[in-house]
Amino acid sequence: MIRSITRRKPDEELDRLLEHQNRVFIFGCGTCTTLTNTGGAEQVQAMQEYLASKGKLVTGSTVLPVACDNLTHEGLRAFSGQINQASALVIMSCAFGVQNIASQLQKMVIPALDTLFIGKETGVGQFNEVCTQCGTCVLGETGGICPVTACHKGLINGPCGGTNNGKCEIDKNKDCAWTLIYNRLAEIGQLDLMKRFQPPRNHQGEPSPGKILLEG
């Protein structure tokens, strides 16, 4: 299953965002940020202690089941008393959840996390970005491995000159996308696909911000 992958903001940034907010309510999320240990019950508890240590009054907290879901309004209603006492909401969900909550409450929202990417859990505690939702899929010619996402330069006509023993020149913990693609295409007998010149990409497959209205 794909997940929204997040990382806690540095304390300094959080402190700055909360500088003039003395009463806060904290939201966690029971889905993605629980899985990534960035906004589950434990992290909400830790945030409560951290903010108390900074002299903030925490009026309450809850872990919403799915912060980005439409049903979130029920969770918000259940805590309306404590939420109303707060001047700001510290939200430990991804930015989808932050925006969902912000749209329903007339309150200042403070995201406690940065949303990094939509990723897939590929091992215990390991998440990888495999698709950037670019709108013009090339997987049919790259053996099902996405160079737009997996190559740091997003190159679609083959590797740059910096491949380093199968790893990317800028991060030895990341595989060179084009080495993976080459190996995969070799395995399935489709190396000729690498010879095809890929013309300049259409970066406006769906102009951002994307919006789709299903017809009929």
Partner 1 sequence: MSLNTESKLEKILKAGHLAVTSECGPPRGTSLDKIEEKANLIKDCVDAINVTDNQTSVTRMCSLAACIKIKLMGLEPVLQMVTRDRNRIAMQSDILGAAAFGVNNMLCLSGDHQSFGDCATGQNVHDLDSMQLVQTVRHMRDEGKFLGGGDIAGPPKIFVGAAANPFADPFEVRVPRLAKKIAAGAEFIQTQCIYNVEKFEKWLEIARDRGLTEKVFILAGVTPMKSAGMARYMKNRVPGMDVPDEIVKRLSDTPKEKQADEGIKICIETMQRLKEVKGVAGFHVMAIEWEEKVPELVEGAGLYPRPEVD
Q: Which residues bind partner 1 (CB under 8 A)?
A: 152-166, 169-170, 178-179, 182-183, 194-195, 197-201, 203
- Quick one: tokens of 20? 């003039």
3-state secondary structure (DSSP) of residue 31: coil
Least Å distance between CB 174 and partner 1? 12
Q: How far is the CB of 162 from partner 1 (least distance, A)?
A: 4
The residue among 144 and 166 lying less far from partner 1, judged by its C-beta, is 166
Closest CA to 92 of 67, 127, 129: 67
Between 173 and 197, CB nearer to partner 1: 197
- Using the minimum distance from each CB to partner 1, give the nearer residue, 104 or 190: 190
CB nearer to partner 1: give 161 or 207: 161
Sheet holding 88-92, edge to edge: 57-64, 23-29, 88-92, 108-111
Residue 168 token pair: 């990317």
Q: How far is the CB of 196 from partner 1 (least distance, A)?
A: 9
Q: How far is the CB of 191 from partner 1 (least distance, A)?
A: 8
Q: What is the DSSP letter of 27?
A: E
- Ranges of beta strands (E only) in 106-154 are 108-111, 113-123, 126-129
Closest distance between partner 1 and the C-beta of residue 156, in Å?
A: 7
CB of 205 to partner 1, least distance (A): 14
Comparing CB distances to partner 1, the nearer of 69 and 169 is 169
Pick from 127, 88, 132: nearest CA to 111: 88
Using the minimum distance from each CB to partner 1, give the nearer residue, 120 or 184: 184
Alpha-carbon separation of residue 135 from 89, 178, 197, 201 (angstroms)? 34, 20, 19, 10
Please state, in angstroms and as integers, the Cα–Cα distance from residue 49 to each residue in 10, 58, 112, following that order: 16, 9, 14
